[in-house]
Amino acid sequence: MAEQSKEERLQSYVRFIAESEDLPAFGQDIYELMTTVADENAPLQRLTNIILKNISLTTRLVRTVNSVYFNRTGRSILSVSQAVTMLGWDAIRDLASSLIIFEKFDKKSPGVKELMLLSLLTASNARQISLRAGYPRGEEAYLCGMFSGLGELLVACYLPKEYTSILEAMKRNNWDERQACRHVLQFSYEEIGKAIIRHWKLPEKVSGGMEPVEQFSDKVESDEQMLSLMASFSRALSTAVYRLDPREGHERVKALIKKFGSALSVKEDNIEEILKQSVDETRQSFSAAHVPLDNLRLVRHIENALSASREQAAGEIKQEEAKVEAAAPGEESTLARLTKEVESVLESGEEFDLNDIILMILEAVYRGGNFDRALFCLVDLDRSQVQARTGLGADAEALVSKFRFPLSLLSGPVGPALLKKQDVFVDNVGDSRYSKSNFIAVVGACSFGMLPVIVGSEAIGCFYFDRLSAELALDDQQKYLLRTLRDYLGEEIARRRRIA
C-alpha cells in the first residue's frame, strides 16, 4: 500500500477527530454563543435558548450564578433568563463559553485540562489586549484567542499516544513544538486546527490566531490582521508565562513586546495588569467547573497573580457551591422552585421589562415541565388570529415562525381554548380529535398543553407547550403550578395597565 501523503494523513486524522462523540456540537455551540452575544439585535430569548439546549451547562450556570461571588442579593436564582439579565450578556458569554469547554474536556487527563485552561486564559488575554489596541469587537478577540490552541488541545485529547510522542521528541531532541509535531504527525498543530475549523464550516478568521506569532509582521494593515495578531500574541504570552521556565519566559515576554508592543499598544509594565485581569476572569470558570486549582501546573504561576482578597472570593464560591450541591434533590420540584422564583421577582418591587418577565415565566414552564418546546403566543390587535412571539426548546424559532392560527371556534384547539378561556391538556394526540388536524400538521407534537392568559375578561394570548415523542403525563400539582405561572403573567399585565 502506498504511503499516505501529508494531506491524506491530515484528512484521516480530521475525520477521526470530527467523528468522535459530540465534538462538532461543541464547536458550533461556542460559535453560536459568541455570535449571538455580539449581535446587538439578538433577543434575550435566543441566548437563553442556546444555554437551555445544554442541560449540564444550564445546571452549572445556575449553580455558579447563585454563588456568593455573583449573587449579592441572597435571593435564589434558578432562571437562566434572569441570570442573563442580572449578570449581563458579556459575563454570561464568558462564563457559558468556559463551561462549554469544561463540559467537553472535563473527563480527560490533567494535561488536557491544563491546555483547556490555557485556552481560557489566552482568550481573556486577547480581549484585554483588544481594549488597549482599540479593536472594536472584543468578543472576536476572545473567540480567536480561545481557538488559537485548538490543534494541540484536540491532538492531546483524541490522539494521546501521538501527543506523548511529540512531547518526548521535544525533550529528547531539543526541538520546538512545530518540529516535533511535524516529525510525529507530518503536519503542525495549526494545520489540524484550521482543518477542523473548516470542517465545522466556521469563518476562516476564527483560525487566524493559530499561526505562530513569529510569522506576523509588526506592521498591521487591516482589522483581520490585527485580530489574528492579537490572538497569536496572546497564545504566545500565555505559553511564555505558564509553560516556560520563569527566566526563559521572562525573556520571551520581553521579545514579544519589543516586536509587537507598538502595534498592539502594549508595554512591558502593562503585562502584569493584563495577566491579573485575565486570571481574575478565568478563576470564576475554574470554580464553576469544579476543577481544583491545586491539581494543575498552572497554579504555580497563577498564584503569583492572585491577591489574597481574590483567593478569599474563590473560597466563598466553593463554599457556596458546596451548599447548593448538598441541597436535598427531592425536597421540591424544579417547577415548584421556578414558580417561587417568579413570585419572588414579581413581589420584589423592582420594575422589570415586561418581555423579561414573559421570558422568565416561559422558561419556568419549559424547564419546570421538562417539555420539548414552550411558546408564548399573543392575540393580534384586531383579534383575528393568535401568533407565537417567542419560544424555547428544540427548533423553537422554526415553530414560532409557523405558529399562527385564526381566532375561531373552528380552528381547534387554539381558537376554542382562547375564546372559551379554557385550559387544554392533551396527553396523546393519536387518541384525540386533533390527530389529523392542521394544527398537529404544523406543530408535529405527540402531546401538548395550552393555557390562555386572561387579562380582564379577555384572553390576550396563551402559553403552549408540548412533547415530541411522549405523553404529557402531568399530575394535578404540576398543572396547578403551570396555571399559577400563567396567572402571574395575566396579573402583571393587568397591574401595568392600571398604572399606565
d(CA 198, CA 186): 19
pLDDT over 70, % of the chain: 79
Average pLDDT, the chain: 81
Q: In what order do the strands lie in the sheet with 447-455?
A: 404-406, 385-393, 373-379, 458-467, 447-455, 424-426
Q: For domain 6-323, give its CATH number from 1.10.10.10, 1.20.1530.20, 3.40.50.11860, 1.10.3210.10.
A: 1.10.3210.10
pLDDT at 54: 66
167: cell is: 512531547
Q: What pLDDT, on a 0 to 100 scale, did the predictor assign at position 242?
A: 82
Residue 389 DSSP one-character state? E
- Which among 161, 158, 181, 157 has a CA at the least distance from the CA of 169? 181
The pTM for the full model equals: 0.57
Question: In the chain, which residues fall in CATH 1.10.3210.10?
Answer: 6-323
CA dihedral of 61, 63, 67, 69, whole degrees rounded to 10: -10
Contacts with 136 (C-beta within 8 Å, 6 or more apart), sequence order = none
| pLDDT of 327 | 40
**Start-end of CATH 3.30.450.40 domains in the chain:** 334-499
Number of Cβ within a 10 Å radius of residue 240: 20
Alpha carbon distance 11, 195 (integer Å): 8
Q: Please name the CATH architecture into which domain 334-499 falls.
A: 2-Layer Sandwich (3.30)
What percentage of residues in the chain have a pLDDT greater than 90? Answer: 41
Identity of the amino acid at 90 = D
Cis check: omega of the bond before 212, within 30 degrees of 0: no
Confidence class for position 397, pLDDT limits 50, 70, 90: confident
Contact at 8 Å (CB) between 482 and 363? no
Residue 120 pLDDT exceeds 60: yes
pLDDT at 499 over 50: yes
Q: How far is CA 178 from the centre of its chain?
A: 32
Q: Tens of pLDDT along 280-319?
A: 777 655 554 445 443 344 444 434 322 333 344 344 434 4
DSSP code of residue 137: -
Please write the tens of the pLDDT for every residue from 145-166: 988 998 998 898 888 899 999 9
Which of 69, 96, 104, 102 lies closest to 80 in space, CA to CA? Answer: 96
C-alpha distances out from residue 171 to 45, 152, 167, 177, Å: 50, 17, 6, 10
Alpha helices by DSSP H, 347-407 = 354-368, 396-402
